[in-house]
Structure 1
Amino acid sequence: MPHTPIKIFGKTIGEGYPTFFIAEIGLNHNGSMDIAKQLIDVAVNAGCDAVKFQKRDIESLSVRSFLDAPDTRFPEFGSTYREVREFVEFSEEEFTELKRYAQEKEIPFFVTPFDIPSAQMLARIGVDAYKSASHNLTHIPLLKHLIAQQKPMIVSTGMAMLEELDLAVNLLKESNIPFVLLHCVSSYPTAPELINLKTIDFLRERYQVPVGYSGHEMLETESLPTLSAVARGACVVERHITLDHHMVGFDHKISLTPNELQKLMGQIRSIDKMMGTGLKTLLPEERIKRDQQRVSLVSSRKISAGEIIQPDMVCFKGPGTGFACYDLDQIVGKSAITDIDEDTLFQAEMFN
C-alpha cells in the first residue's frame, strides 16, 4: 500500500514528487558565521530544498569527565572534547541571524537539536520542522519534546534495532504529525557493502510512511549510493556539504564540495524526470516508431473478390498501420469484397 505524501516547508514529499534535498551544513561551518553563510549560498546556487545545521548544549551532551578528556583530533579547535565542541557551536543570536539570512536567500532553514535545551532554543527562534538524529532515536524524552512542538519531523534511523525503531515510529504515529524516516548507516564514511539500500523498501513497507536516505558514503563512490537511493524511491535525500574536503573539522571528508553538489543535484533532478508516472501508456513520441516498426497482416498472394480468406493467404510484414497480428482470427474466414493485390496491407474496407 503506498504511503500518504506529507508537506514540509510548503513542499509535498512522497512517491511521485520531486526528491526533497537537504543540504546538511551541520558543523562544517567550523564555528564561523562567514563560512556558514557561504554554505547557505552554495545550497541555494545548487537548487537544494533546505539547509540544516546542528545544535548541542555542551553541558547536556556528555558527563563532565568525558567533556574534559583530552581530544587531539583538531588542535585548532581545542585540546579537550569540551573545547572542540564549544568551538563549533553557535549561540541563539547567531542561529537567529542564520535563519534570517536563509530567509533572505529564500531557502528553508532548520536544525537538528541534540538535547532538550537546544530544542527549547530552536522553539524560541522559530523553526518550521525538526530533524531527529540517529543517536537520539532512543532519547524518548527528547523525541516526545519534539513531537509536542507539532511540527513536521525528519527522523534518521542509523544504529537502530528494530524494536527501538518500532517504539519511535509508534510515538510519531500516535501524535499525528507528518514525518519522514531516513535510512541511514552511522559509519563515517560508509563502505559500499554496508549501505543496504533495500532497507528503504523495508521501512516504507513496514511503516507506510515516506522514506528517504541520509548518505555518508565514501567519496570514491561518486554519490552512486545516493543516486541509487533516489532511483529506489527515496523521497528525501540528506547529504553533508563543505567548501573544501581538506578543511579541518568533523565531516568535511564525507561531504560534497560546491561542484560535487551541483553535479549531484543535476543528476537527481534528471532521475526525478525519468521516474515518470509508473503507468504504461503509448506515448505520442512512440507512435511514429510504432507505425514504422510494428508488423501488420499482409496478403501473401493476389486475392479475388468473393474469396474466403484462409491462413495461407496471410503473411506478416511492416509497417504497422494495418491489422495487428493479433487480429488474424478476425479476418480469416471472411469474404473479400474487392480484389486484393499480393503484398498489400489488409484494411477493414476489404471485407464485409
Structure 2
Amino acid sequence: MIIDGVSIGDNQTFVIAEIGNNHNGCFNRAIQLIDQAIEAGANCVKFQVRNLNALYRERSLQRNGDDLGTEYILDLLDEFELSEQQHVQLKRYCDERNITYLCTPWDEKSIDFLESLNVKAYKVASADFTNVPLLKKLIRTKKPLILSTGMSTEDDLHFINDLLQSEKADYALLHCNSTYPAPYEDINLRWLSSLGKLHHLVGYSGHERGIGVSIGAVALGAKIIERHLTLDRNMDGPDHAASLEFIEFKEMVKGIRELERSLGDGKSRAVSQGEMINKENLSKSLIVNRSISAGTVITSDMIDIKSPGQGLSPRYFEDLVGVKVNRHMEKEDFFYLSDLTGETQKVEAVHFSRPWGIPVRYHDFDKFSKRISPDLYEFHLSYSDMELDIKKHITEVHDCDFVVHAPELFKDSNLMDLASPDEEYRAFSIRETQRVIDITRALKPYFKKAERPMIVANIGGYTMDAPLSQQDKQGYYERFAKSLHQLDCDGVELLPQTMAPFPWHFGGQRYQNLFVLPEEITAWCNELGLRMCFDISHSKLTCNHFGLDFNQFVLDVGRVSAHLHLGDAKGVNGEGLQVGDGDIDFVELAASLKKSCPKASFIPEIWQGHKNEGEGFWIALNKLSGLL
C-alpha cells in the first residue's frame, strides 16, 4: 500500500502522530503539534473532521434527552473543532514541512471536504468500522484506507474484511482497544498475529499509557503504529490522558527504529562481524602439541584445544583424527579446514596495472616475502609491535615500496583520536602517532623504492552512544587539523582512512563521524592538502547505510585517494569479506577506480586473510587479477 509515496509494509514502520482534537480548538497549538511530530520522527500527522449536523441527530445537538456521555462529547466538540478553512491551512503547512497530512472523516460530508484537499489516504475510526455506507463512499475515492478495529467483534471483523476484499479496497487493519487509557490487561496484543492471518497488512492503534506495548506491536508484525500526541496530558479533553507527550513519542519512534534494525529476516542464522571478532578472541582452536612433518597421520594425543579461535574449530576434533597432513607443522600451529580437505590455496601469477601488495606483520613478513614479490608491503602495526627491534625481523633490503598502517588501539585500551575534545587524550594520540611516524622513517632504508612512505591512520572522531551533529563534527575536523600541524611528517605522508559509520573496535561498536561521507572527505582533503586511503569495504557500508550511490562515491573519493584497501562488504556491518561474498560489483568498481584513481596502489584487506599461510589474500588477489 502506497501513501504519499511511502510504501507501507516494507522495512520501516509507518508511524502516525494522531493529533485528533488534542489542539483543543487552537490553530496555533495544532501547528505546534505538527512541529513536534516532525521532530519526533513521525511519518505523518492525523486530524479529525466532523460535520456535526450530518453526524448527530438534531435532538442530540439540542441536548434533548441524551445521556451525560453524549452531552460531554458534544460540548467538547463544539469547543474543540477546527473550521474547514483551518484544516486547509493545516494541510498546506504539512505540505510545506514535508509531512503527510491524514484525517479521519466522521461523516460523508466530511469525506467530500477532504477530497477537495486531495488527501492521500483515509483513516477510519473504530466507531465507524462497521459503517458500511461510509466505508463504501471511502472505497469509491480509490484512496488507501487505514481502519481501526476497536469495539469490534470477530464476526464484525470477518464481515468487514470480506466487504473490503470484495470491493478490492487498498487497506490496512489496526488492532485497537478503544478505551482511554486502555488497561494493559484488555489490550490482547497477541491478537495482532491472528489479525495478520485475516489480512496481510496490519498495525496497532494504541491508547495505553507508555510506549512499551506499541514497540512490542512492531515485533509482532505491526507495519503501522498510531499514537495520540499531546502538548500536556493534563489538558481537558477525551484523548489527552491516553496520549503521549513529545519526549515519550520521540522515545517510542526511536525504540521502533531500533527494533526494526534488530528484527532481521528470520530466515537464517549468520555470524555477525562483531561475533566474528569475539569468536576469534574468545573461542578455541585445534592446535598441534608437537612439531610434525608433512605426511604425518594425526592421532588424538597430538591435538590440543587452546585459545584463540583462529584455527579449526574443536567441533572437528574427531574428523581430524586419522588425517594425513600435507605440510610441516611447528608446535602450537593451528590446524585449518584445508588440513581436512587437502585443498590449499596457491599463489598464482597475478597481473595488475597499478602497484599492489599485501598486509603483513613483523612476525610473518619473512615468510610472505619468500613466497611473493609484490610492489609493496603494508605493515599493520599493533601497539606491541611498536616496541620491537626492526632489525630482528627485517634483515635485508627489499626491492619494493612499503606502507605502514598505524595502530588504532594503543596500550591500556586507548584508541587513537587525533580529533578528541579531551586535550590530554588528543596530546596522547599525537605522541603515539609521532612514534608511528618515527618507526616508518626507520623502516625506509630497508625498501629501495620507498621515497615518501604512506601511513594509513584511523584518525578518530568516534562517539559511543550517538552520532555527532553537523556543528559538532566541524569542531572535530578542526581539532584533527590542529593535530596534523603538530605532527612532524617530514619524509612521510599521512593518509586518513575512509571509515564506515559503525566501526568495530576492541570493546564494542561505536559511531564514526569523520571521513565517512564523500562530500566531507573531498572537502577536508582539499582544505588540508591530504590524500586518502580509500577503504572500499568501509565505504560500501557507508553507502548501504545512508542510501548513497556507491559508484558516484568511488568516482568522487577516488580522485583524492592514493592507496586502496580492497575487500567486499554486506549490509551495514559486514566488512572485510572475501571478494565476491558481499554486495560489491567488482567489475563496475574496477572501471570506476580506473577513471578516478588509476595510479593508486592497493592491498587486499580480508578479515583474517593472513591465516593458513595467507590463504584469504591469495584468493582475493587471484579473483582481482586482470581487473585492476
Q: Please confirm whether the aligned pair reaches a TM-score higher than 0.5, indicating the same fold.
A: yes
Q: Give the 5 Å matches for 1:130-279.
A: 130-207=122-199, 209-218=200-209, 222-278=210-266, 279=268
Question: Which has the higher mean CA deviation after the structures are superposed, 20-29 or 294-303?
Answer: 294-303
Match of 1:45 among 39, 42, 60: 39
In the aligned structure 2, how far is the partner of 1:304 from the partner of 1:83? 94
Normalization by structure 1: what TM-score?
Answer: 0.87
- Percent identity (aligned): 38
Return the offset for 1:131: 0.5
Displacement, 1:264? 2.1
Query: 2:180·2:241 contact (CA, 8 Å) conserved in 1?
Result: no
Out of 8, 28, 37, the position equivalent to 1:13 is: 8
TM-score under structure 2 length normalisation? 0.50
Q: Is the 8 A contact 2:323 2:340 kept in 1?
A: no
Distance in 2 separating the partners of 1:142 and 1:121: 14
Q: How does 1:319-330 map to 2 (within 5 A)?
A: 319-330=308-319
Contact 2:48 2:106 in 1 (8 A): yes
In 1, Cα distance between equivalents of 2:327 and 2:107:
87
2:459 maps to which residue? Answer: none
Aligned CA distance change for structure 1 residues 81 and 250 (closer, same or farther; 3 Å): closer
Quick check: 177-186 or 296-305, which moved more?
Answer: 296-305
Stretch deviating more after TM superposition (318-327 or 91-100): 318-327
The equivalent of 1:308 in structure 2 is 297
Query: Secondary structure of 2:225's partner?
Result: strand
Quick check: 137-146 or 334-343, which moved more?
Answer: 334-343
| Cα gap change, 1:167 to 1:314, in 2 (>3 Å) | same
Q: Supply the distance in 1 between the matched residues of 2:341 and 2:117 (Cα, whole angstroms).
A: 79
Q: Deviations over 1:162-189 (max 9, x none)?
A: 1211121122223333221111001111
**Does 1:292 pair with 2:296?**
no
Mapped partners of 1:102, 1:142: distance in 2:
26
Unaligned runs of 5+ in 2: 343-628
Q: Kindly tell me: are residues 333 and 145 of structure 1, through their superposed partners in 2, closer, same or farther at Cα, counting changes over 3 Å? A: same
SS in 2 for 1:117: helix
User: 2:120 is matched with which residue?
Assistant: 128
* CA-CA distance at 1:73 after TM superposition: 7.8
Q: d(CA) in 2 for partners of 1:189 and 1:318? A: 55
Deviation, structure 1 residue 325:
2.6
What's the counterpart of residue 271 of structure 2? 282
RMSD of aligned C-alpha atoms?
A: 2.5
Matched with 1:31 is 25
1:119 aligns with 2:107: no
Paired AA for residue 273 in structure 1: R
Count of residue correspondences: 338
Q: Which residue of 2 aligns with 1:3?
A: none
Deviation at 1:71, TM superposition (A): 7.8
Change (3 A) 1:119 1:339: closer
8 Å CA contact retained: 1:22, 1:239: yes
Amino acid at match of 2:192: I
Assess if the C-alpha contact under 8 Å between 1:24 and 1:51 holds in 2.
Answer: yes
Q: Secondary structure at the match of 2:103?
A: strand
Does 1:346 find its partner at 2:335? yes
1:213/1:234 contact within 8 Å kept: yes
Structure 1: gaps (5+ residues): 1-5
Mapped to 2, the partners of 1:223 and 1:92 lie a distance apart of 32
- Name which structure has the greater RCO, CA cutoff 8 Å, separation 6+: 1
| C-alpha distance 350-205 of structure 1, shift in aligned 2 (>3 A) | closer
